[in-house]
Amino acid sequence: MSRDIDYGNLMHQAMRGLIRTVLKDVQENGLPGAHHFFITFDTTHPDVQIADWLSQRYPEEMTVVMQHWYENLEVGEDGFSVTLNFGDAPEPVYIPYDAIQTFVDPSVEFGLRFEAAEEDDEEDEDDTAVEPPEAEDAEAGGQSKADIVSLDSFRK
């Protein structure tokens, strides 16, 4: 019986664990210095919990910003919940880690991108930078480029 080590999936698990560790630290100690996060996630994921009006406005994906105003950050084993400000309207959201598509901290030019398996053939191998997407949070400020860890080289 032949089996392969699924390095791509193992890398995804490790990167999601990194996000969980970072968010747990922020839950316990707050955001240090200029750190802030752009988090893009799949709004169609069955475990995502967002308001109906957000779901209608963002039927496929959404980017949220954790920077100046957020509260009630609760980091769990499978995902996290947080209340964010959408145009002066506080809304709770729940985002499972496996719904996250990108996680960017532009203050230190760090980012992770989770590639879907069917996108492998379409992605350029030299696509290692991403501009953080425009976010709902009006306090997001300017955008900068961030290095992205791509799993393309780990996949068959």
* Segments in the chain forming alpha helices (H): 7-29, 52-57
Calpha distance 140→20 (Å, rounded): 22
How far, CA to CA in Å, does 82 sit from each of 20, 26, 85, 97, 151?
Answer: 13, 12, 10, 13, 28
User: For position 139, what pLDDT does the model report?
Assistant: 37
pLDDT at 138: 35
For residue 150, the enclosing domain spans: 7-154
CATH of the domain at 147: 2.30.30.220
> Is residue 1 included in any domain, yes or no?
no
pLDDT digits (tens, 9 = 90+) for 56-91: 999 999 999 999 889 999 999 999 999 998 888 899
Tens-place pLDDT, residues 123-156: 444 343 344 444 444 333 333 444 454 455 444 5
For the entire predicted model, the pTM comes to: 0.73
Please count the structural domains in the chain.
1
43 within 8 A of 50, measured Cβ to Cβ: yes
**25 falls within a domain:** yes
Q: Decide if 121 is inside a domain.
A: yes
β-sheet bridge partners, residue 69: none
Q: Which residue has the higher pLDDT, 116 or 80?
A: 80
